[in-house]
Chains A and B, each alone.
Chain A
Amino acid sequence: GNSVTQMEGPVTLSEEAFLTINCTYTATGYPSLFWYVQYPGEGLQLLLKATKADDKGSNKGFEATYRKETTSFHLEKGSVQVSDSAVYFCALRRKNTGFQKLVFGTGTRLLVSP
């Protein structure tokens, strides 16, 4: 079956530190990959996505590259801010059909201190 594995949190960083949150997946074929972010008290927001191998998704300084050979989609940011504190979810979805659900990882909480 399809599944997503994320690194355990919380990840605690100081402002301006480099961030990596690891995500690996198991899927039939080549799914689309997503990072969603959940700020305290809010719903999930799409952060970035990639739909094929070697694609790089980017948004708000965050980046992730679709690596087929390692079945990974690690999230990175060069310099985190306190406002980036949130829970980050990696997810996959099989392509070419609108009827496939998103499969989420367990989420990784990021805490950024000033």
Chain B
Amino acid sequence: DSGVTQTPKHLITATGQRVTLRCSPRSGDLSVYWYQQSLDQGLQFLIQYYNGEERAKGNILERFSAQQFPDLHSELNLSSLELGDSALYFCASSSGTGDTEAFFGQGTRLTVV
């Protein structure tokens, strides 16, 4: 158990819909990262937050957004969903200082039908 909790584990939704994925980082970790894992794109970095502030942005679509709340949990919002958004979405956390490793949650598998 990495200590990073992601909910829900599975999500099935229709095209055009909006969903919210939730991540609770390890206790004490200030930095949260979101990754998308798909068969054709591999593991793609989406976005990073540190203590409530956006720190880095990767290949995140405009239809996607994220935030980190004062209690440090994070949410990834995906809207106007397309079939191609079907993927495994991972959250990872780290202390955010120095050269520390990142710990990954078990992921949320999103299926868009």
Contact = CB atoms under 8 A, between A and B. Distances in A.
Given A43-B104, A43-B105, A46-B103, A101 B97 contact: no
A99 B96 CA distance: 6
A49 B101 CA distance: 9
Contact of B56 (A45, A99, A104): A99
Nearest to B48: A101
Interface residues of B, number: 29
Contact of A98 (B2, B100, B103, B106): B100
B44 to A, nearest CB: 8
A106 interface: yes
Interface of B: 2, 4, 6, 31, 33, 42-43, 45, 48, 50, 55-56, 58, 90, 92, 94-107
